[in-house]
Amino acid sequence: MDSFDKFDSDIKFPPLIEQYEKKIYDLHQLIEISKGLNSTLDYNILIDSILLTCMGQLQLLNAGIFLVKVLGGDKFTLHRNYKGFDLDHSMEYSFPINSPLIKFIENDYRCYTSDEIINDIKDEASDIMNILKPDILVPLMSKGEINGIIILGDRINDEEFSESEVEYILNIASLAGIAINNARLYEMATTDMMTKLKIHHYFQTILVEEINRSIKYDRPLSLIMADIDHFKKFNDSYGHVAGDEVLKNVAAVFKESIRLIDIGARYGGEEFAVILPKTDINEAIIVAERIRSAVESSTLRFNEEVLHVTISVGVAQFDQSIDLTKQSLIERADRALYVSKEEGRNRVSFL
């Protein structure tokens, strides 16, 4: 080797080292990202983690994710935890799961530009993308099926994504797709399929956790117990199909009336429960009355008849001096519910 060849080798070798160092760094980052995404099965926390990871790693100003909103749902909806997009929060941005967009991207796992979607597809999905105007879309896959779409918007440095960055995005999306599938399976296992509220066992588990947090951080915790008034009448008069519709209608009111941090559950039969973290008795009574009033004013039609549904509600606040177990708190809320029934139903009582 003459001196020129040696000189040429010295120039080319360091960039190669830098490339390998970058790949090693990216792999380490992906391992940490994987640990983070798999550390929670809480849907909202997971979505936040995915979006913040993308924004931090890729220096983005905005990001969002489309998911099937409810179990067994028929459309992809922009999750409310989207970041940076200037949108009308009262609107729902969604498109059918059988949209031409899904058919367009499901057979080719890669990053797509919004121009590709807008120019090649003419449907609700392309209309939404025209509003959002993301730089790229990335399908989230699990077991060969699309379970979401990440949209990534403007970059802080206003640069286009490099080839290595696109590869990195696909790796993050692959991890995110698996994590979302795991969270979805957990959600299915802990959700009552008829009412879409949490099941009894999950309620009991979370109540213990929230009681422990209440003690540790010295913050209030309240519990609502509710029962559908004269539920047997709906089954006897109209059949069990009508009874199921009553349950679904009441459950929907519960879901719409509580916060993200609250836990609504089907306690059993026609009885419902809501765990209210960071909530004292006065605040809990307001929530309970809001739910009761919303159920009473809701309209449920069955076979051209309007079914008038009401609920009786009991409320109790956790008191460390008397609630030695979770069962004590449940029993106090249940006694308050019994008072509501004894005093004529369709009312809120508290202990």
Catalytic residue among 92, 160, 167, 270: 270
Q: pLDDT band at residue 90, thresholds of 50, 70 and 90?
A: confident
User: Cα 116 vs. chain centroid, distance in angstroms?
Assistant: 29
Residues 309, 250 contacting (CB under 8 angstroms): yes
Lowest pLDDT segment from 115-119, 133-137, 168-172, 254-258: 115-119
CATH hierarchy code of domain 200-350: 3.30.70.270
Strands 263-268 and 271-277: what pairing? antiparallel
Gap between the Cα atoms of 122 and 105, Å rounded = 14
What local confidence, expressed as pLDDT, does residue 348 receive? Answer: 98
What local confidence, expressed as pLDDT, does residue 195 receive? Answer: 96
Average pLDDT over residues 155-160: 88
Average pLDDT over residues 135-160: 90
Annotated catalytic residue 270: yes
Residue with structure tokens 């009874």? 243
Gap between the Cα atoms of 59 and 156, Å rounded = 6
Average pLDDT over the chain, rounded to whole? 89
What local confidence, expressed as pLDDT, does residue 324 receive? Answer: 85
pLDDT at 225 over 90: yes
* pTM reported for the whole predicted model: 0.77
E-assigned strand segments in 46-111: 63-68, 75-78, 94-96
Gap between the Cα atoms of 44 and 286, Å rounded = 25
Domain boundaries, the chain: 3-189, 200-350
Average pLDDT over residues 66-87: 86
pLDDT at 284 over 70: yes
Q: pLDDT band at residue 238, thresholds of 50, 70 and 90?
A: very high
- Both tokens assigned to 77: 């909806």
Average pLDDT over residues 65-70: 85
List beta partners, residue 190.
none
Q: Is 71 exposed, middle or buried (0-12, 13-18, 19+ CB in 10 A)?
A: exposed
pLDDT at 8 over 60: no
Gap between the Cα atoms of 247 and 67, Å rounded = 26
Domain 3-189: give its CATH superfamily: GAF domain (3.30.450.40)
Strands 221-228 and 271-277: what pairing? antiparallel
Q: pLDDT band at residue 13, thresholds of 50, 70 and 90?
A: low
What local confidence, expressed as pLDDT, does residue 6 receive? Answer: 52
pLDDT at 345 over 90: yes
pLDDT at 304 over 70: yes
- SS3 percent helix, strand, coil of the chain, rounded to 5, is 50, 20, 30
Q: pLDDT band at residue 20, thresholds of 50, 70 and 90?
A: low
Average pLDDT over residues 3-22: 61
Average pLDDT over residues 90-102: 89
What local confidence, expressed as pLDDT, does residue 2 receive? Answer: 54
Residues 273, 224 contacting (CB under 8 angstroms): yes
Average pLDDT over residues 148-174: 89
Percent of the chain with pLDDT over 90: 55
- Both tokens assigned to 202: 């999950």
Per-residue b/e over 221-240, b at no fewer than 16 CB within 10 Å?
bbbbbbbbbebeebeeebee
DSSP for 174-213 reads: HHHHHHHHHHHHHHHHHB-TTT-SBPHHHHHHHHHHHHHH
Residues 34, 171 contacting (CB under 8 angstroms): no
Q: 293: how many CB neighbours lie within 10 A of its CB?
A: 15
Gap between the Cα atoms of 293 and 274, Å rounded = 16
Q: What is the pLDDT of residues 40-52, one digit of tens each?
A: 888 888 889 899 9
